């Protein structure tokens, strides 16, 4: 798993690696807690775009409103009202990763929540988060989370329903 930044994020990835490698009492609960802590840590490191850059904010809003849309740098730069080159530079600088890597992260985070919280088939989740095939989804998910989506579903406790 690629983890931006240093320190806490790398330590959490190392801890999660140990928990995945060894099956011990409480492993499932520990894995879920570490994944949640990683998400919070990464969200804390998220730097929202500067207020004077409404184009990047518009692109982020569009991605989060419809993560399954067939996004491309061209489409996102049009939403932002910027050239592709300027958009990519500003987006990467503001967010810490290129636009399409960010889109992929948003999609896979949504997929992880759906895997933990629903019993929908993998093919339905793949389609819902914007992947053309279950195979492409599974490959991307494994790259991001280090395990195939089916294994992730079975080894990660279900999320508590929202109230």
pLDDT tens, residue by residue, 91-143: 998 888 999 999 999 999 999 999 999 999 999 999 999 999 999 999 999 99
Distances 34 to 12, 70, 73, 141, 155 between C-alpha atoms, Å: 7, 31, 32, 18, 13
87/98 Cα distance (integer angstroms) = 10
pLDDT one-digit tens code per residue, 17-52? 887 888 888 777 777 777 877 777 776 665 554 557
pTM higher than the cut 0.75: no
Count of CB atoms situated within 10 Å of the CB of 85 = 10
Nearest to 151 by CA among 142, 163, 140, 161: 142
pLDDT one-digit tens code per residue, 79-91? 999 999 999 999 9
pLDDT value for 162: 44
List the structure tokens of 137: 């989804």
pLDDT value for 51: 53
């Amino acid at each position: 798993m690629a983890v931006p930044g240093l320190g806490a994020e790398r330590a959490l990835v190392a801890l999660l690696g140990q928990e995945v490698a060894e099956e011990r009492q409480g492993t499932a609960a520990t894995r879920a807690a570490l994944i949640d802590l990683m998400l919070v840590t990464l969200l804390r490191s998220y730097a929202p775009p500067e207020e004077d850059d409404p184009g990047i904010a518009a692109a982020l809003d569009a991605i989060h409103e419809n993560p399954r849309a067939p996004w491309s740098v061209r489409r996102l730069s049009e939403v932002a009202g910027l050239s592709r080159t300027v958009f990519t530079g500003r987006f990467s600088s503001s967010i810490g990763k290129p636009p399409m890597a960010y889109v992929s992260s948003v999609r896979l985070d949504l997929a992880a929540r759906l895997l933990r919280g629903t019993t929908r088939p993998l093919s339905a989740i793949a389609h819902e988060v914007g992947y053309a095939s279950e195979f492409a989804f599974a490959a991307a998910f494994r790259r991001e989370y280090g395990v195939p989506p089916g294994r992730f579903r079975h080894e990660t406790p279900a999320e508590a329903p929202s109230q």
